[in-house]
Structure 1
C-alpha cells in the first residue's frame, strides 16, 4: 500500500503521550494541509481553538468525563463549526443575516469534520498520535464560555495531539461488503452483519495484548447511543443561532 492508505488503515486512538512539545511550525503546517479538505461551496465554515491554558484544559477534561489526556497531550484543539465569517459575507453582499437554517448547520458541521479528519491523518503521517474528544458536548455551554465562542460558532469536538507513549492494536472495522450496498440499501442482512461483527469484536477484545475485556460492538454501541443522548444540544444550538429553520 502507499503511505496514505497505510496511514488510514493503521489508525488507532492514542491517549498516552510522552512529555514532548510539537514544534509550532509543524503544527501550523499540519493545519494548513488540513485546510485542503473539501468544503461545501468553499465556505470553509470552521475554526480551531488551540487551548494552552492549563486551568481551561483541566475544566474541559473534567466535564468531558475525566479524560485526563486532554491535560497531558502536547496540543489540545477544539474544532468548531463556524458560520460567523459566512454571515458577515452575506451581510456584506446585502443578502441578509443567517436565519439558522438546518442546511447551513449541516454544511458547517461537515466542513469541520472533514478538515479535522484531514488534520488527524496528517498528524499520524508524521508519527504523532491523536484522539477525538466528543465528550466536550457534555457541557457545550461551559466550553463555549471558557473559549469565548460567539454566536454562529459551536464546539463540535476536541482533538488531542502528541507524541505517542503507547501503540494500541488496531480495532477491526466492519467488512467492506457490510457497508457497501449495490444500487439500493439491502436491509435483509443487517441483523446477521451485526451478529457476525459482534463475534469478531468480542474475539478482538479477549485476545488483544492489553486491556482485555468481555464485550462486543452491540453492547458498546447501545450504551454509547442510549446513554449519551445529550438532549441539551438542541436548545444549546438554537441559542447560538443554529437549527432554527
Structure 2
C-alpha cells in the first residue's frame, strides 16, 4: 500500500481537501476531480489504486461513474455520500462498490476503510499465481519460471526485476508508463526513468535467454507491457 494513489471524485472542494489532507498525512498520493467526467479521465490516465467517489455529482452521478469504472476493471471504490438509505447502499454495492461511507463522516474513518480495502486488494494480488503465456510467477515464493518444450526454466532475478515483472504481469497487455513503474516498483533513490529502462533491459534479456523472447516489449514513446506473443 506504500505510496498508493487515491483518486477523490467530490464536487465540494472543502470536503475533497479534507479527504486528501488525511490521506496525504498517512503517506498516500492523491488527485481530485470535481465531476464524473474529469474523474473518469483521471482514472483512465493515472490508474489509481483506489477511488473515493461521491454519489451526488454534477452531470454523471456517482452510480454512473462507478458503473463506468467497473466496465474498465476492478479498481477498488469507496462511495461517500449524504444518502443513508439502505436502498442507496445496496445499489452502490450491487454496481460494485467495495465500501460505503455516509456524510457527515470522520476523515480518519475513510482512510481506515481505504486501508482495509487496499489490504484485501493487495493481499489478493500478492498471493495469487500469475501466468502470462509461458511465464508463471509465484509471489509468495518470490519465484518466476518460463515453461518451454524442454521443461521449466527458473529466472534468476534481482529484487527490483522481480517487482517489475510481477507488476507488469498483474495487468497483461496493459502498457505501463515509465513513471508508473518507477512509482510502483523502484526504491527511493533509484527512482529515475532511465534507471527503470536499465532494469527492464536486463529483465528482457533474461526472459529471452529462458525462451520467452518477445514477452516483454516496449511501446515507443509510452512505456512497457507484458504480453504473450501471438502465433
Judge same fold: TM > 0.5, yes or no.
Answer: no
TM-score (norm 1): 0.25
Q: TM-score, normalised by structure 2?
A: 0.26
By percentage of residues, which structure has more strand?
A: 2
| Structure with the higher helix share, 1 or 2 | 1
